[in-house]
Amino acid sequence: MTTAGIDAVEIRTGNLKLDLAETFAPVKDEDPAKYTKGLGLHASSFPDAYEDIVTMGANAAKRLMDRKGLTPEDIGRIDVATESAFDHSKPVSTYIAGCLEDVFEDDFHHANKGERKFACLAGTQAIDDAVNWVTSGKNRGRAALVIATDTALYERGDSGEATQGAGAVAMLIDEDPDLTVVEPLQGFGSADETDFLKPNQQFPSVDGKRSMQVYLARMREALRDLEEQRDLHPDDFAVVPFHIPFPGMVRKGAALGYRHISRGTDVEDALAEEIGPQPRPDDFEDDEAFRDALSEYTDDLTETDRYQEWYDLTVEPTLGISRYVGNWYTGSVHLARAAALRDARENGRDLDEQQMLVCSYGSGAQAEVHIETVQPGWEEEIAQLNVEEQLRERYDLSFTEYEQIHDVHNYDESTDIDAFTTPEEEFVFDGWGRMGERKYTYVE
């Protein structure tokens, strides 16, 4: 059977940065540690006045195609995952393809283009669709481009303001991939929830605290669904990337995940000597007593050396980029994968043929857990990322400048301020067309 998965990845951050501890917390009269320690975030990325989901996505895709030596003829499918789309009919992938056609000789007229929506989960769903397309043979030898791109902005003063971010992750999905093979096993947890949504509005309506409970509840269902198909063990997975709305959320998700993958294994037995066995619902009179015991067990678990060693090795490295860019919605879990691979390469960790348990999530709400196998070409591929350079070069906003750029990207404000950075060798937003479409150009 044909194997398919992620052959290449590119990351493109917004060109601006808001320092949460130094710039945001003081104006909010809050302890900087709430951001750096509580939420686990140091900074957010923002789009400059000439950037948006199209420019960031097209810039990521162009760099990917350039360094892989690809032309539009090599790409048979372009799917964009986003929850920041500005057009209800024409998919963002057509805007991005249009940008790329301006700089490549050929066109993408042969390519199937679309847009995937399920909050932050859509990037993973688009990968799944592309993998199915490749393995079915419908690809006729061509690869797919999956681009997860978002400007994750909240209303000023909303509790989510601290977790904002903007950026794109472009991934090439192909046969015999260099980075990871996406294995067929998947677990799902899905329910009709109204904790985070954008009903015909730009900024989300969000019930922050409940959204965290819903994240954990759906993740639990997805893990259970996977457990029904295959036995799981903590040693099975070298890396466990989660969707990262903010790293503090992953701390909670990881404890839940570890409980599941260690349940009924020698690891649970070894831990039982220290903190007792995991509580099981049948041992309690009611649900509340069970939940209290579970919460106490989880607190004890996360204090054990065994858990902390597992977390430091398999989860902590996945957070290394997100801590400095915030939530990129559809791109976040894909940043987590890339961050872990980058960290492994820097620390000489051998991941060849090792497995990842990828835990994706989207509000509204659905979690998906699936398995990927790291391929021998991963080190060479991940070495091509220039994300450190991009993060270093971001313009550091003052609070007043942050207010201005937030207004620039707010559809309800009409603000005309100059960009803070000068675009160079990149696609930029270039004004409006006669039918209200956004227009783009490539700046040399």
> Is residue 181 a contact residue for ligand HMG (CB under 6 A)?
no
> Cα–Cα distance between 4 and 27 in angstroms, integer?
48
Provide the minimum distance between the beta carbon of 158 and ligand HMG in the complex, in angstroms, as a whole number.
7
Contacts of ligand HMG in 261-280 (CB under 6 A): none
The whole-angstrom distance between residue 82's C-alpha and the CA centroid of its chain comes to 11
**Is omega for the bond preceding 365 within 30 degrees of 0, making it cis?**
yes
Of 182, 207, 213, 178, residue with least CA distance to 195: 207
Which residue has the closest beta carbon to ligand HMG? 38
What are the φ and ψ backbone dihedral angles of 172, each rounded to 5 degrees?
-100, 125
Contact region for ligand HMG (CB under 6 A) — 238-246, 288-296, 304-312, 400-408? 238-246
Near ligand HMG by CB under 6 A: residue from 3, 22, 38, 300: 38
> Is residue 217 a contact residue for ligand HMG (CB under 6 A)?
no
Question: Could you list the active site residues?
Answer: 83, 120, 243
> Is residue 34 a contact residue for ligand HMG (CB under 6 A)?
yes
Provide the minimum distance between the beta carbon of 189 and ligand HMG in the complex, in angstroms, as a whole number.
13
DSSP assignments along 18-40, one per residue? EEIIIIIHHHHT--HHIIIIII-
Binding mask 371-410 for ligand HMG (x = CB under 6 A): ----------------------------------------
- DSSP 3-state assignment of 93? helix
Q: Which residue has the tokens 């909303």?
A: 158
Near ligand HMG by CB under 6 A: residue from 24, 46, 95, 215: 215
Provide the minimum distance between the beta carbon of 308 and ligand HMG in the complex, in angstroms, as a whole number.
16
Please, which residue, 163 or 298, has the CB nearer to ligand HMG?
A: 163
* DSSP code of residue 298: H
Provide the minimum distance between the beta carbon of 212 and ligand HMG in the complex, in angstroms, as a whole number.
5
User: Strands of 75-81's sheet, edge to edge?
Assistant: 112-116, 75-81, 143-152, 165-175, 4-13, 180-190, 366-374, 355-362, 237-239
Please, which residue, 72 or 364, has the CB nearer to ligand HMG?
A: 364
Contact region for ligand HMG (CB under 6 A) — 98-106, 205-213, 341-349, 382-390? 205-213
Residue 14 near residue 398 (C-beta atoms within 8 A): no
Query: Number of residues in contact with ligand HMG, rule: CB under 6 A?
Result: 30
> Cα–Cα distance between 407 and 417 in angstroms, integer?
10
- Helix (H) or strand (E) holding 404, with range, is helix 399-408
- Contacts of 86-89 with CB under 8 Å at 24 or more apart are 86/52, 86/53, 86/438, 87/437
> Is residue 361 a contact residue for ligand HMG (CB under 6 A)?
yes
Provide the minimum distance between the beta carbon of 35 and ligand HMG in the complex, in angstroms, as a whole number.
8
> Is residue 209 a contact residue for ligand HMG (CB under 6 A)?
yes
Near ligand HMG by CB under 6 A: residue from 46, 104, 133, 196: 196
- List of residues contacting ligand HMG (CB under 6 A): 31, 33-34, 37-39, 83, 119-120, 159-160, 162-163, 196, 206, 208-209, 211-212, 215, 243, 245-246, 248-249, 327, 329, 361-363
